Amino acid sequence: MSLDRLIKGIKEMNNPTVAGLDPKLDYIPEYIRQAAYEKYGKTLEGAAEALFEFNKGLIDALCDIVPAVKPQAAYYEMYGWQGVRALERTIAYAKSKGMFVITDGKRNDIGTTMEAYAKAHLGVTDVEGESFEAFGGDALTVNGYLGTDGVKPVINVCKDKDKGMFILVKTSNPSSGELQDRSIDDGLTIYRTMGNMCEKWGEELMGEYGYSGVGAVVGATYPEQLGELRKALPHTFFLVPGYGAQGGGAKDVAPAFDENGIGAVINSSRGIMCAWKKEEGLDPKDYAQAARREAIRMRDEINSVKN
Amino acid sequence: MSLDRLIKGIKEMNNPTVAGLDPKLDYIPEYIRQAAYEKYGKTLEGAAEALFEFNKGLIDALCDIVPAVKPQAAYYEMYGWQGVRALERTIAYAKSKGMFVITDGKRNDIGTTMEAYAKAHLGVTDVEGESFEAFGGDALTVNGYLGTDGVKPVINVCKDKDKGMFILVKTSNPSSGELQDRSIDDGLTIYRTMGNMCEKWGEELMGEYGYSGVGAVVGATYPEQLGELRKALPHTFFLVPGYGAQGGGAKDVAPAFDENGIGAVINSSRGIMCAWKKEEGLDPKDYAQAARREAIRMRDEINSVKN
């Protein structure tokens, strides 16, 4: 009912990072794509097969050193239901290897509809008395614009199934401030207000490390706000995107951690997935080993700056 | 590049409503469910088949009198990739019958990731030079919490493919005010600020009826705000949920329309889908005709109160 399984994984591996699995076709070595197209043609199904095979190699190479993966739903939906099936297979495979899976879907809706998303991504779906895990992630990213009605159904599933969520608080993109940085009537910014809501929603889901099951997404590209929010939200665990390709460095993510060196998990997607393209003379068949080397480099870099 | 195709359909049928396709298994007559389970078992695949067959009957019964359908992605994702396939089939079938399809996904993300959602739901996906429509909706609901970066990629696809979108402005749920009703530094509420952003984003996508391709979701459950926003946002077309099962009546939606009687499309989901349960002595095989009767009743009721 909290994010304790994630925090435990981070501690055991001494690695506060998550590998983003946002596979685009041009991140995938040609030999994997060709093998998929030979089976299924240059189709959505062929592309989806390539996505899964690429992910499988990455998961195999990372699962003993990186505690979590974060597949981004958009990159699978782009390939239709066939891509969504590759998402489901990726989640199942990562879990079979012991990884914690954060499904990055930024889902949001009201009451019963949000309940459907919560069942889809974290819980189980009932078909005439039989229960099925539709996607089976361990945590889901959620957009909180709709208020408590849009979060409560996720809280309920988290309680029931020992799952967690991350609410968008201060996102990593350049225009995130257009709305999120505005101050509201009590003088607090919108992102801070959303952060305070996370603290409140999390009360029902407290874990043993002092962090609740309601985490927050806070971008590495805004280190000042990251530090402000770390102090203001002592029970809210952070998922930090924006490290690497988006411009955030190790020093930028340091403020995300508490005095015990926990409190955040830092995501890298392109940096890890595309590491093989940056090593000169590398055989593309060794793409996953290149990803592993980058994941270790990132782990060590981040450990060197956190408390 | 605007919502003109929707507005044209509304005018031609003299019907400013959209049928929400949010099928839950217990909305579906038993004979449809049984037939699906006989083929595919009591599985996610069986459930998904029942969803599609139910929708197909509704679309057949509604397509000459209701201009649009709005499938809610959550209710399909709940049944896994098999459910998502039923969503894709539902969209394709509704389009083949000439209906305008609003995919209610409330998607949101940053830059390149939002581009992937836009391609998935409104545009085309490239696989090695071949183009595929992954889902092929005509409009997508979008959550604007991330600002312009999260909307611009959708605008680009709308321009290119003559599609539209609806941004969440003032949602219909009881807790929508927790954040959306707060006032920000310039004295405007957050929902009004989001509405103003819709006007601005829409400038690039103006249509011939004076409305842009960037619509807004505004709930029927807040008629006062609906009227305020109609006046404040003259180029923003409204998608209005909350009529019927959520408590909004015909008088509540009247303020959504402009002086020419356009400017909004009113959604009903449960009211139409479950109409067959309310007609005493009805043969469940006539569920779609019951839906048609309710759709006509709703059309006439709403036409009687709008300008």
Q: Alpha-carbon distance A48 to B167, whole Å?
A: 29
Task: Chain B: give the shortest CA distance to residue A257, in Å.
Answer: 24
Are B134 and A74 within 8 A, CB to CB?
A: no
Which segments of chain B have a pLDDT < 70? Answer: 1, 307
Q: In the prediction, which pLDDT does A1 show?
A: 63
Q: Could you tell me if B119 lies within 8 Å of chain A, comparing CB atoms?
A: yes
List of chain B residues whose C-beta atoms are within 8 Å of the C-beta of residue A126: 25
The answer to whether B63 and B52 have CB atoms below 8 angstroms apart is no
Q: Could you tell me if A196 lies within 8 Å of chain B, comparing CB atoms?
A: no
Q: In the prediction, which pLDDT does A261 show?
A: 94
Backbone angles phi, psi at A100, to 5 degrees: -85, 130
The answer to whether A166 and A215 have CB atoms below 8 angstroms apart is yes
A38: exposed, middle or buried (C-beta count within 10 Å: 0-12, 13-18, 19+)?
exposed
Q: In the prediction, which pLDDT does A307 show?
A: 63
Chain B residue nearest residue A125, CA to CA: B78
Are A42 and B130 within 8 A, CB to CB?
A: yes
Helices assigned H by DSSP within chain B: 4-13, 30-40, 44-62, 73-77, 80-96, 111-121, 152-161, 177-180, 190-202, 223-232, 250-253, 270-273, 275-278, 287-305
Taking only the tens place, the pLDDT of each residue in A223-235 is 999 999 999 999 9
Q: In the prediction, which pLDDT does B244 show?
A: 82
| Residue B160 one-letter amino acid | D
Bridge partner residues of A141 (DSSP): A166
Q: In the prediction, which pLDDT does A12 show?
A: 97
Q: In the prediction, which pLDDT does B1 show?
A: 63
List of chain B residues whose C-beta atoms are within 8 Å of the C-beta of residue A182: 184-185, 190, 193
Mutation for testing the B interface, residue in A79, A91, A106 having most B CBs under 10 Å: A106
Instruction: Please give the structure tokens belonging to residue B148.
Output: 């312009």
Q: Alpha-carbon distance B14 to A161, whole Å?
A: 48
Question: Which of A87, A107, A178 is opposite residue B147, by nearest beta carbon?
Answer: A178
Q: In the prediction, which pLDDT does A146 show?
A: 97
Closest among A145, A183, A22, A189 to B116, alpha carbons compared: A22
Which segments of chain A have a pLDDT < 50? Answer: none
Are B72 and A22 within 8 A, CB to CB?
A: no
Strands A214-218 and A68-71, sheet pairing = unpaired
Q: Alpha-carbon distance B180 to B57, whole Å?
A: 38
Q: In the prediction, which pLDDT does A93 show?
A: 98
**Within the 138-157 window of chain B, which residues sit less than 8 Å (CB to CB) from chain A?**
143-150
Instruction: Write A275-281 long-range contacts (CB < 8 A, 24+).
Output: A276/A29, A277/A27
Mean pLDDT, chain B, as a whole number?
A: 96
Cβ-based neighbours of A32, under 8 Å, separated by 6 or more: A50, A53, A54, A57
Task: Chain A: give the shortest CA distance to residue B263, in Å.
Answer: 23
Mean pLDDT, chain A, as a whole number?
A: 96
For Cα atoms A201, A237, A307, give the angle at the middle one, nearest 5 degrees.
150
ipTM: 0.97
Instruction: Say if pTM beats, i.e. exceeds, 0.90.
Output: yes
List of chain B residues whose C-beta atoms are within 8 Å of the C-beta of residue A78: 116-117, 119-120, 125, 134
Chain A residue nearest residue B136, CA to CA: A80
Q: In the prediction, which pLDDT does B245 show?
A: 75
**H/E run at residue A193:** helix A190-202
Closest among A53, A21, A22 to A35, alpha carbons compared: A53
Question: Would you call A11 a catalytic residue per the annotation?
Answer: no
Are A144 and B171 within 8 A, CB to CB?
A: no
Are B183 and A185 within 8 A, CB to CB?
A: yes
| Residue B284 one-letter amino acid | P
Phi/psi-derived region of residue A38, left when phi > 0, alpha when psi is between -120 and 50, beta in every other case: alpha
Q: In the prediction, which pLDDT does A244 show?
A: 83
Strands A130-132 and A125-127, sheet pairing = antiparallel
**Within the 243-302 window of chain B, which residues sit less than 8 Å (CB to CB) from chain A?**
none
Strands B100-107 and B125-127, sheet pairing = unpaired
Q: Could you tell me if A81 lies within 8 Å of chain B, comparing CB atoms?
A: yes
